[in-house]
Structure 1
Amino acid sequence: MSNVYQFEANSLAGQPVPLSQFQGKVMLVVNTASECGFTPQYEGLQKLYDEYHERGLEVLGFPCNQFGKQEPGDAQQIGQFCETRFAVRFPMFAKIDVNGADAHPLYQWLTTEKRGVLGTQGIKWNFTKFLLRRDGTVFKRYAPTTKPDELRADIEMLLSDPAA
């Protein structure tokens, strides 16, 4: 597959969402967890969404329970947590696996397109981030320790330059 628009994922409500509905947008795809040391990054992700959504940024959250069982809740609990603790308004999807035989096809593609540190393919922890260009291709992969605010320059560049 050549871009993200070939995939679909279920919303927290269980409805299929074709990622083609985000065509032409800059996308930040993040695997999330509610009980992780990086969970406060939800606040920074929401700030990016608030600041750049009108200009064409979409933040897509994919809860995952593969790292230290830090996302134990069901879809309703995840949605309620995100809304009440961090006022999350960006799209959140159903819990998925991001590694292994049951990894969601989106994450199989993302990790093939952009490898991590030292060429590793697998996701190492919660809040790994992928920034995608408007054409649906992967621009860059960021470690969980990279704070959302540190992505501003790259987001600005992708939003400002249609050819980027």
Structure 2
Amino acid sequence: MKHSYHILVEIILIFLLVILFFQYRQIRKERNALRASKQGLDFELKLRSDSMAEMEGKHTYLNNLSDSLFNDSDIRYFKQRGLNNPERDLLNSLYQQHDLIPEQGVLGGNMRIWHATLLGRNWALAYFEDGHIAGNMLLKYTVNEGDVQWEVIDSSTNGQ
């Protein structure tokens, strides 16, 4: 009888060890998936932060300037209106216009413009998000003596 209890205890212990082994494998798999996800998020954050430069205490955001539909005539036009580097000056001005975003951040998020495309002399398209809600805005802009004025023409949120 004593011998059968020992065998039963050994079987239970082996069964528990098998369960622990499979639990350990599952936890390791989930941990590796979380690490991969974190690395992806870290990479995305680096890309976004690399698109920002600090200039005289102000955050200055820089797009790929090829994201604008400017030609040489547009550049001359805006230089005559007081912009030294029209594409960069217009984009940097737009990225500072958080008050134009038609949505409020949720769950502690802050709405920011993350990407913009200049559509020639009068228009721009901007993508905004807070990490929870995202959307796009169509804007009209004017430049007078180096001062850029922005106006939202239309906007929409994605998935809301």
TM over 0.5: no
Answer 1 or 2: higher relative contact order, Cα 8 Å, separation at least 6.
Answer: 1
TM-score range, shorter chain: under 0.3
Instruction: Compare CA radii of gyration and give the structure with the larger one.
Output: 2
TM-score scaled by length of structure 2: 0.26
